[in-house]
Structure 1
Amino acid sequence: MTVLPDYALSRARYTAFLFTVVGTERSDAPNSGEDITVLGALARIGIDPWQEAARLALLPRVEAAKSLAATFVNLPDTRWTLGDAAGTARRIVDTLPQSSRHGPPPLGYRIFLGWRFWAAVCLALALLALNYLSGGA
């Protein structure tokens, strides 16, 4: 069974970030008093939460916090000052996983760890053993 990308475990690393509570709805909003999570906030303004979490995780923390604060200020049914949004965004951005700047391993390293490499080594050893046991030179 193929797992759709929307349900892949690679997205689980953003769970702490996406389910962090940002604030509560205003008292005159339809869902007054309900908690707003990062996931809900991003979805309300039409941004894919997992893509945005992945994008923010690649940014330096300061830049990610600025971007997230701008998102909070634009939320409907909430009132944010830029200072409040910036403080909350800095706190929430710390829940993002640290991005790895190392990139993929070098080609030689990947070949060494690949199953084809080890299959070739086993085949070569088997041929040597067969040659040795059959009385070859």
Structure 2
Amino acid sequence: MADPNVLNPHPPEFDRFLYASVGEDRNGYVVTVLSALARLGLDPWKETAELVTLGRDAAQARLGTLLARFWDVPSLASDHGRVARDLSQLLPEGPTSGNLKRAASTAADGRLNTSRAIWAVLAIIIALVQMFTVGGSGPGE
């Protein structure tokens, strides 16, 4: 049977944290953790997986450092420590589900989370294209 999470490969345990607000930007729009991490040039799911593997206190410190670099929300300039503390409470306690374990181990190992089957199919398609292109009509046909 196919993996039920194939269309949504991100761990649902991260949702509460990633969709939490870090404050309002200069235009009055609510900025989520997901948006803040993306605006900092980070992969939100990978960063969250790394935060989970750090533990609560280290995750709070890392998150505080990241939020201090985030200038789009003016209130974070003076309040990033409290916001980081509150947000760190929304992180999952530890890798419990299969997706969460996979995301955490991928983040810890620094590897991309790509499917080997996709790469195998792609290699077969390239080989077939090359066979048909090179093995086309030859002299005497």
TM-score, with normalisation over the residues of structure 1? 0.61
Q: Which has the larger radius of gyration?
A: 1
The match for 2:17 is 17
Could you say which structure has the greater relative contact order, defined with CA pairs below 8 angstroms and 6 or more residues apart? Answer: 2
Runs of 5+ unmatched residues, structure 2: 102-141
- 1:73-88 alignment runs, 5 A limit: 73-79=68-74, 80-81=76-77, 84-88=79-83
Equivalent residues of 2:71, 2:77 under 8 A apart: no
Identity %: 32
Equivalent residues of 2:19, 2:32 under 8 A apart: yes
Q: Which amino acid aligns with 1:43?
A: A
* Alignment RMSD (CA, Å): 2.5
Equivalent residues of 2:22, 2:30 under 8 A apart: yes
- 1:20-59 alignment runs, 5 A limit: 20-26=20-26, 32-59=27-54
Runs of 5+ unmatched residues, structure 1: 27-31, 105-137
**Displacement after TM superposition at 1:66 (Å):** 1.0
Residues of 1 paired with 2:63 and 2:32: CA distance? Answer: 12
TM-score, with normalisation over the residues of structure 2? 0.59
Q: Which amino acid aligns with 1:94?
A: Q
**Displacement after TM superposition at 1:3 (Å):** 7.0
Does 1:7 find its partner at 2:8? yes
